[in-house]
Amino acid sequence: MPWLDLSDFNVVCSRSSLGVALGPYAADFVRPERFGNVEYILLEFARLTLAVGLVDALALGACVTPTDPVLSMSIVKGRYAREYVPQHMRLIISAEAGANDGFGYPYLFLALYLSRYATGTAIGRWVYETWLYAVLLSVLYGAFVGYLFSIILQQAEKRSFADLESVQVYGIVVAIFLLGTCGMLGIDDLLACFVAGNVFTWNDWFRQVTQDDALQSTMDYLLNATFFAFLGAMMPWEDYKLQFMTPWRYIVIAICLLIFKRLPPLLVLYRIVPQIRSFKEAAFVGHFGPIGVAAIYYSGIVVRYLEERPGELGQSEERLRSTVRPVIYSVVVASIIAHGLTIPLYNFLGHFPDSIRHPIKSTKAAWRPHPRLRLLEFEDQINGEVEKWMRSGHNWIFGSGDRTSRTTGDRGVDNQV
């Protein structure tokens, strides 16, 4: 026998019809004017109804805002990135992925403070606790640590107090030091690490010394592989059995976030971003905004913050606590599938948009790269040519191959050098 599914839409219709039936123009059982100013009551009721959903949406939005630097590596590093993705696009994706991992902190705590305190108190604590203390202090502290450690390392290397192996591991040591001390101070450790890394390599000395170092990439690979393997093993499948969240809603949320979170704004505003030169590049950068480690990190902060008050959570906070993990994890899984398989799929189909590497002349002529960026592009081009030599057997530098059988690409690199 067919039955009526009481979805949210049906609940709204039934309750509205009930209100009309009991109102003064029907049964005259309920007269709203008896409760006071009807317009004022309706205004505050609407404010409460919208605010409850708005705070939850703000918290979830803050979790998925940061671009994941791990999933972005497929188009930032490696042979495929050098062949198909221009250097200026890789640099802006890397910079954005590093910066907004830390800048998601204030947006998240705005939602958390609004869920706990009154509006005025929440805004006040958000300004002086989050912005002035956590964010501003993390920027200053990260800049100070990065500059201090850079001076110490350069002086130690200049006086032969540090060998090459010590210099190579130095960046990892600085990151671990910042994570520990920022946790003790209660400030944004991700943002502090990003600022410290920029200051630490500001004069490009550390990059030049460690450009042939495989330790950093090995550590990155080890940590990333371990994290995502552990993430797959501990997926909270039991949290998906919520009465008010059906499976198709998780799928719709994930698809809508991947489509509308990043792509439309970049397609509209790419002309004001100097590093994005064409509509194709805007579409490419807009697509590669993966959601991953940072989203898991911020969802953990939400759960820990709400669990600090057991038994004191309201209905809205309890609902946020129970939904944040399954929603964020489903979005992360969708992003892993969408962004992790994009390049292998294009490789398989053989239809990767190669024209993205050659933007239109008018845009390219209007863009003037920084001298350091031109140096990086030149080094990147040489590295790509060297890999082509190695694969084609023209490795005459190491004695395997004929020195006289040189290609046109080899002579072109010689001319540039």
Tens of pLDDT along 43-58?
666 665 555 577 888 8
DSSP 3-state assignment of 242?
strand
Contacts with 356 (C-beta within 8 Å, 6 or more apart), sequence order: 84, 85, 86, 280, 281, 284
- Give the pair of three-digit tokens for residue 247: 């499976």
Contacts with 309 (C-beta within 8 Å, 6 or more apart), sequence order: 116
- Give the pair of three-digit tokens for residue 145: 């640590």
Tens of pLDDT along 189-235?
888 998 998 898 888 888 777 777 777 778 877 888 888 888 888 88
CA torsion 254→255→261→262, rounded to 10°? 130
Mean pLDDT of 153-172: 83
Who wins on pLDDT, 188 or 27?
A: 188
Mean pLDDT of 82-93: 83
pLDDT at 408: 42
Cα maximum dimension of the chain: 101
- Give the pair of three-digit tokens for residue 303: 């759960």
pTM, to two decimals = 0.71
Poorest-pLDDT segment among 86-90, 159-163, 398-402: 398-402
Q: Please name the residue that has the structure tokens 């192996």.
A: 165
Mean pLDDT of 162-175: 82
Read off the pLDDT band of 182 (50, 70, 90): very high
Measured CA to CA, the distance from residue 206 to residue 202 in angstroms comes to 9
- Tally the C-alpha atoms within 13 A of residue 250's C-alpha that lie toward its C-beta: 23
pLDDT at 364: 40
Inform me whether the pLDDT recorded for 124 exceeds 80. yes
Poorest-pLDDT segment among 41-55, 87-101, 157-171, 247-261: 41-55
